[in-house]
Amino acid sequence: MATPSPRPKRRFRQPSVIPGFGLTLGYTLTVLSLVVLLPLAALVVRASGLGISGIWDVATDPRVASALRVSFGVSLLAALTASFFGSIVAWVLTRYDFPGRRIIDAVVDLPFALPTAVAGIALASLYAPNGLVGEQLAKVGIEAAYTPVGIFIAMVFIGLPFAVRTVQPLISEIDKEVEEASAILGSTRLGTLTKVVLPPLIPAVLTGFALAFARGVGEYGSIIFIAGNLPYVSEIAPLLIVIKLSEFDYAGACAIATIMLAISFTVLLAINLIQAWSRRRFGYV
């Protein structure tokens, strides 16, 4: 006589303080739709009044194309710079104890707290040709303010906190004993850095890069004071949208915003895919 197979044990969902899945999912979708999806959809619908050919004409306009190149090109360079130096700052603040560390740690968050106009005025006065730093740069032939260099400085300024704060928690979780074990097994300092320390930090570095890039692309207040806003030279796309609105060209402004939305979404999607790949590649889920 065959022995009956044991009945599988029923798995009961663990109780949670938060309400059920259906309620929370509905709330999430509702808030996301009202705050994010509907405004973006309205933007795209308003721009679609121009048609595909009209949006293409806006995108290929020399002034618009130049502003988009400045915004996205400088944002990319600024995000890379902020990610590199932000990782170093996060490492120093996490791994070393020195006088004034808490003050420096608080200073990192200042770009979050400062109004963008205040940051722009401060950067412009500092890097202007007669400013404290700009005067010294002018002596070696470097013009910072009122050039794309000034835009780069402003974007690094606002992007650095994202790079620091996303990497800092993961650095604190890396056990020093793992690094010591790597050294005991004969690995060099460079080998320990590249094979032990950096792999778990890559997803966080990419997250900080994406946040810094997104903030730089959409930044307005801290840039217009130091950029100079010269068409075809240092004019950013957000400023061009404001100019279109002041001229009552709402369709043109929405078209530029839609183009920026499409490019930003594509870039951020690619970064997220790379981030997901790095998590699988290095075994950090």
Supply the pLDDT for residue 285: 47
Q: Is residue 31 part of a domain?
A: no
Q: Is residue 26 part of a domain?
A: no
Cβ-based neighbour number of residue 98 at 10 Å: 8
What share of residues in the chain are helix, strand, coil (percent, to 5)? Answer: 75, 0, 25
Cβ-based neighbour number of residue 69 at 10 Å: 13
Q: Which residue has the higher pLDDT, 268 or 283?
A: 268
Q: Is residue 123 part of a domain?
A: yes
Which CATH number fits the domain that encloses residue 260?
A: 1.10.3720.10
**128-141, pLDDT tens digit by residue?**
888 888 888 888 88
Task: Using the predicted structure, report yes or no on whether residue 183 has a pLDDT greater than 50.
Answer: yes
Task: Tell which phi-psi region holds residue 96, choosing left (phi > 0), alpha (psi between -120 and 50) or beta.
Answer: beta
Tell if the pTM clears 0.85, that is, is over it. Answer: no
**Residue numbers of the domain that contains 68:** 41-282
In the numeric block, which tokens belong to residue 164?
């620091």
Q: Is residue 36 part of a domain?
A: no
What's the number of domains the chain is made of? 1
Q: Is residue 197 part of a domain?
A: yes
Instruction: Give me the chain's average pLDDT, please.
Output: 84
Q: Which residue has the higher pLDDT, 275 or 80?
A: 80
Q: Is residue 17 part of a domain?
A: no
Contact 55, 258 (CB under 8 A): yes
Q: Is residue 74 part of a domain?
A: yes
**62-80, pLDDT tens digit by residue?**
999 999 999 999 999 999 9
**222-253, pLDDT tens digit by residue?**
899 888 888 898 899 999 999 988 988 888 88
Amino acid sitting at position 215: R
Q: Is residue 25 part of a domain?
A: no
Q: Which residue has the higher pLDDT, 11 or 147?
A: 147
* Burial of 11 per CB tally in 10 Å (0-12, 13-18, 19+): exposed
